[in-house]
């Protein structure tokens, strides 16, 4: 069996492209008219990232548990530090030091960005600059809680029954969203700016967005701990992709009005399930995504983190630059230039920041292994 799961690169590349196109057609930018229909569902690219993160991170931790190793929170945290924080801190510094980079007027307080609490109480109208950092907050909370929880379960006799915890938390997600809808959003639904309250109390908070992460964790648990079941499932890789497309089609129509009751309560888990089946298919040896080694999607996937952090600022700068030459920023030409600009900047950041720190992470891991 091949060591590298090419399917994950395809999904990561798809997720960042979907998010990019969705953000490109928001009103603060110029965009071609055709993009609105294509990119309407692009906000769910973030949910695919959640499913991927849930699978990848928990799979690494489950692998240790399966092999009788104890989880070291220190080692786990430092690995996440080298991967996530250097580039995030650099982009945050750019946003604060160079106002011309900002795609909107006002940034959230620095302490909220540095503590990854930006997604709680986020007023996207007044503090909408770098608002896409909210999803990184959700992932950081997951990175903090999951290893602590697994370390606790490892030290008790409850680990083999911990699947109940996944089920309970998944069900609680519906209850929390119901509470958020009736107690926090509904009292403000008749206001002119009611959409702000939906984003603030329902869309951004971590406790409402755990579905994709939990689905990723569930898939990782089956992948690592249930080899017989996984061997049976892995024979139907392409079928899982078909199921995924059917579920996501249903989610598209359910969430066509994103702030409706049914989209709020059932939309996020249905989207998570849809992308979960897509993930299962992508890591099955029988699936064409598993076998397809594409340098293009691997390249985009490698740059996805840098693209995610910087794309709004780069789109803004690129369009402002093109306006000086009377270029139509609503054109396909401008879209192509913005895509190339984002890829170029992400590549430079990958080479100058991400790769050096990943090398440091490798050295640290080797040193930690020798010490143990």
Cβ(238)–Cβ(287) below 8 Å: yes
**DSSP string computed for 175-188:** HHHHHIIIIIIGGG
Q: Which residue has the tokens 């220190």?
A: 74
Q: Average pLDDT in the 214-220 region?
A: 97
Measured over the CA atoms of residue 54, residue 60, residue 66 and residue 72, the dihedral's sign is negative
Least confident of 39-43, 95-99, 155-159, 287-291: 155-159
CA-based nearest residue to 345, from 299, 297, 311, 295: 311
Phi-psi region of 284 (alpha: psi -120 to 50; beta: other; left: phi over 0): beta
Express each pLDDT in 311-356 by its tens digit.
999 999 999 999 999 999 999 999 999 999 999 999 999 999 999 9
pLDDT surpassing 90 at residue 364: no
**Number of domains observed in the structure of the chain:** 1
Q: Is residue 190 part of a domain?
A: yes
Over residues 250-271, mean pLDDT: 96
Q: What is the DSSP letter of 159?
A: G
Q: Judge whether 219 lies within some domain.
A: yes
Within a 10 A sphere around the Cβ of 219, how many other Cβ atoms? 22
Dump the DSSP string for 27-96.
TTS---TTHHHHHTTGGGHHHHHHHHHHHHHHHHHHHHHHTTPPP-HHHHHHHHHHHHHHHHHHHHHHHH
Does residue 348 lie within any of the structural domains? Answer: yes
Instruction: pLDDT band for 35, please (50, 70, 90 cuts).
Output: very high
Domain of 153? Answer: 6-371
Kindly give, in sequence order, each residue whose CB lies less than 8 Å from that of residue 327, ignoring residues fewer than 6 positions away: 333, 334
Q: What is the mean pLDDT of residues 102-123?
A: 94
- For residue 293, pLDDT beyond 50: yes
119 pLDDT above the threshold of 80: yes
* pLDDT over 80 at 268, yes or no: yes
Which pLDDT score is estimated for 369? 61
Compare 365 and 151 and report the one with higher pLDDT.
151
Residue 2 predicted with pLDDT over 60? no
Predicted local confidence at residue 368, as pLDDT:
62
- 10: which DSSP letter? H
Least confident interval from 110-114, 189-193, 303-307: 189-193
Residue 73 or 3, more confident: 73
Of the listed ranges 67-76, 173-182, 274-283, the least confidently predicted one is 67-76
CB–CB of 59/5 below 8 Å?
Answer: no
Instruction: Please give the average per-residue pLDDT across 194-207, as a whole number.
Output: 96
pTM: 0.95
- Is residue 278 in some structural domain? yes
Q: For residue 363, what are its two tokens?
A: 């050295």
Residue 1 domain flag: no
In a domain, 92, yes or no: yes
| Residues 104-142: b if buried by 16+ CB within 10 A, e if exposed | beebbeeebbeebbbbeebebeebbbbbbbbbbbbbbbb
Residue at 102 is within a domain: yes
Average pLDDT on 160-174 reads 92
In whole angstroms, what is the distance from residue 133 CA to residue 270 CA?
Answer: 23
Q: What is the predicted pLDDT for the residue at 1?
A: 38
Query: Sorting pLDDT into bands at 50, 70 and 90, what band is 154?
Result: confident
> Mean pLDDT, the chain, as a whole number?
94
Average pLDDT over residues 223-249: 96
């Amino acid at each position: 069996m091949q060591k590298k799961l090419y399917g994950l690169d395809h999904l990561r590349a798809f997720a960042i492209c979907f998010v990019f196109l969705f953000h490109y057609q928001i009103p603060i930018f110029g965009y071609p008219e055709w993009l609105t229909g294509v990119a309407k569902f692009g906000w769910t690219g973030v949910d695919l990232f959640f499913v991927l993160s849930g699978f990848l991170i928990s799979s690494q931790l489950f692998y240790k548990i399966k092999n009788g190793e104890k989880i070291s929170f220190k080692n786990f945290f430092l690995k996440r530090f080298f991967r996530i924080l250097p580039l995030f801190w650099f982009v945050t510094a750019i946003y604060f030091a160079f106002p011309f980079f900002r795609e909107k007027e006002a940034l959230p307080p620095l302490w909220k960005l540095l503590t990854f609490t930006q997604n709680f109480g986020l007023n996207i109208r007044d503090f909408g600059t770098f608002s896409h950092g909210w999803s990184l907050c959700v992932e950081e909370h997951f990175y903090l809680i999951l290893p602590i929880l697994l370390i606790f379960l490892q030290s008790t006799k409850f680990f083999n029954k911990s699947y109940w915890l996944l089920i309970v938390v998944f069900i609680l997600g519906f209850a929390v969203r119901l509470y958020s809808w009736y107690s926090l959003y509904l009292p403000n639904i008749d206001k002119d700016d009611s959409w702000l309250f939906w984003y603030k109390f329902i869309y951004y908070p971590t406790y409402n967005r755990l579905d994709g992460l939990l689905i990723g964790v569930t898939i990782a648990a089956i992948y690592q701990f249930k080899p017989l079941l996984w061997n049976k499932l892995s024979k139907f890789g392409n079928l899982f992709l078909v199921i995924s497309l059917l579920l996501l089609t249903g989610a598209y129509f359910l969430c066509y009005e994103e702030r409706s009751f049914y989209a709020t309560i059932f939309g996020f888990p249905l989207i998570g399930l849809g992308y979960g089946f897509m993930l299962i298919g992508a890591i099955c040896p029988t699936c064409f995504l598993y076998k397809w080694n594409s340098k293009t999607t691997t390249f985009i996937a490698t740059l996805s983190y840098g693209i995610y952090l910087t794309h709004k600022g780069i789109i803004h700068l690129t369009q402002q630059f093109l306006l000086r030459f009377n270029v139509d920023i609503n054109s396909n030409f401008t879209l192509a230039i913005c895509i190339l600009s984002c890829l170029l900047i992400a590549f430079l950041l990958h080479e100058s920041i991400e790769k050096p720190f990943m090398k440091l992470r490798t050295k640290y891991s080797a040193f930690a292994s020798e010490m143990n």
